[in-house]
Structure 1
Amino acid sequence: MTFTRMKLFSVVTLIGLLTLSTVHQACAADVSMSDKNFFENAAQANKAEIAASEMAKSKSKNPQVLKFADQMIKDHTEAYAALSALAKSKGVEIPTEPSLMQKAKAKLLSTKDGKDFDEEYAESIGVAAHKDTVELFEKTAKNADDADVKQFATKMLPGLKHHLAEAKKLEASTDD
């Protein structure tokens, strides 16, 4: 390849990359701030649920807690993957970790053992976190600007409400 062809190839490649970057930014620019906030909060909620449930698998001996944790890991991993695919189709990058507040709560949870751990996991990760997440998804299902985001939130709500109901049962069983 001659020097001129190499220069031309480099310029064409650079233009292609810049075009892709511009298209990606344009797609993300079409997503409203409230929908971007939904993507961020939903991603962080999924990652927090997964991390805390993995901790429960290593710290708890309670079969009900372990069963709930397994289900949360499975369901929230699938939910994160679906959310990630939707975000990618909209040109939105989502977090890959829980928020700083969620990490702090997990750190606090990690200091507990035995029955104290089980009770705190059921209350904070099971019930409280799912109440917040159900509220987020209900608001988004009603008010999202993007039809696909609205549809996603609506589709996920029954599963989240089921998680909340199961978490409440778990909380009642660990309060004995």
Structure 2
Amino acid sequence: MKTSFATLLSAAALLVASSCSSKPDSVEQAQQINDAKLGIKDRDTVAMNSVNGTERPAFDSNFLTKAASGGMLEVQLGQQVAQKATTPEAKSFAQQMVTDHTKANEELKALAAKKNITLPTTLGKDQQEVYDKVLAEKGVDLDKKYVSEMLDDHQEDIKAYQEAVAKTSDQDVRDFAQHTLPTLEAHLGMVQKIKPVVDAKK
């Protein structure tokens, strides 16, 4: 049976689409590297009360890898929104995110290096989706989407950092989380304040 050229093109397009959709998650890749360093072959089998102590370093590496991707999102998206925003509130907030999270990211990198924890160097899947969704908007809709995503993002970040303070057994990791929490809480207060203003813009 002869295969038409159009059919071959369709098959090739499907392969390309499949390849793009299956792009590895940089956060998961970093976590897998860290698991290998700890000798963890199957994360699901690591009991929380394990006597070998690997569950705590695994928690720390998970927290730091996710925090790294989140921090990169704040900076990279903030840089874009600071240029493209139409409202002064969104523009100012984005600039503040770049300043504060650039500093926090450097502190996180230094901590990870000290603990021999591998961090992602590009946005993780979840963070990339947020980045793409915000920048797909134009004009004031971009501002509104950005502020909405930052509200959700900082609420989630605060929970993650509070959990790290409560669960980590590493004092350096706890110190980093405690030191960063007030900044995240300040950002949440800022975005809660400007959201009604930005949402009211036409």
TM range (shorter): 0.7 to 0.9
Aligned residues: 149
Alpha-carbon distance in structure 1 between the residues aligned to 2:117 and 2:127: 22
Match of 2:170 in 1: 146
- 5+ residue gaps, structure 2, are 1-33, 39-53
Query: What are the equivalent positions in structure 2 for 1:117-132 lying under 5 Å apart?
Result: 117-124=142-149, 126-132=150-156
Match of 1:169 in 2: 193
Structure with more helix by fraction: 1
TM-aligned CA deviation for residue 77 of structure 1: 0.6
- 5+ residue gaps, structure 1, are 1-24
4+ aligned runs moved over 6 Å, structure 1: none
Cα deviations across residues 97-121 of structure 1 (Å, max 9, x unaligned)? Answer: 2211211221121111111111110
**Aligned sequence identity (%):** 28
TM-score after normalising by structure 1: 0.80
Which one has more relative contact order, counting CA pairs under 8 Å at least 6 apart?
A: 1
Choose 67-76 or 104-113, whichever is displaced more: 104-113
TM-score after normalising by structure 2: 0.70
Match of 2:139 in 1: 114
Match of 2:29 in 1: none
TM-aligned CA deviation for residue 133 of structure 1: 0.6
Alpha-carbon distance in structure 1 between the residues aligned to 2:106 and 2:121: 11
TM-aligned CA deviation for residue 58 of structure 1: 2.3
Q: Is the 8 A contact 1:56 1:65 kept in 2?
A: yes
Please, what is the CA RMSD of the aligned residues?
1.5
